[in-house]
Amino acid sequence: MNALKTCGLTIFAVVILHNLIGYAAGYAVAKAVRMDPVRCRTLSIEVGMQNSGLATSLAASSFPSLALATVPGAVFSVWHNISGAILAGFYSRMHTEEDPEAPAEDRM
């Protein structure tokens, strides 16, 4: 428990930074290849949201003697749900022009 107390803040900081860099990198790459704003947002979320369950399982199987190895994956599991909801809310309020070539059912 003492190890968790000493490295807890660092874990939270790294998890949040990793997530935010993922969102920003996804959006930047999509923008660089001239994707439309809706696809930029989609790629941003896809890159920022990682498989935390897989990370936790891999940590547990790779480092069975280190109980704390699973903590970053568990923290990320909670954090990416919070940050993803915030980002989706932010993106939903941003105005974008619809793609005129997209079929009507794709615009819903």
Domain count of the fold of the chain: 1
Position 66 in a domain: yes
Say what the pLDDT of residue 100 is. Answer: 52
- pLDDT at residue 54, as a whole number: 82
How many other C-beta atoms can be found within 10 angstroms of the C-beta atom of residue 31?
15
pLDDT at res. 3: 66
The answer to whether residue 7 is domain-embedded is yes
Domain interval for residue 53: 2-93
Q: Look at residue 58 in the predicted model and tell me its pLDDT.
A: 86
Q: Is residue 99 part of a domain?
A: no
Burial (CB count within 10 angstroms: exposed 0-12, middle 13-18, buried 19+), residue 74: middle
Weakly modelled stretches of the chain, pLDDT under 50: 108
Residue at 78 is within a domain: yes
Q: Is residue 45 part of a domain?
A: yes
- CA dist 7 and 47 (Å) reads 26
The pLDDT value recorded for residue 96 is 64
Q: Per the domain annotation, does 56 fall within a domain? A: yes
For the chain, the distance separating the N- and C-terminal CA atoms, rounded to the nearest angstrom, is 49
- Is residue 98 a part of any domain in this protein? no
Predicted confidence at residue 103, as pLDDT, reads 56
Three-state helix/strand/coil letters over the chain: CHHHHHHHHHHHHHHHHHHHHHHHHHHHHHHHCCCCHHHHHHHHHHHHCCCHHHHHHHHHHHCCCCHHHHHHHHHHHHHHHHHHHHHHHHHHHCCCCCCCCCCHHHHC
pLDDT (0 to 100) of residue 101: 58
User: Would you say residue 103 lies in a domain?
Assistant: no
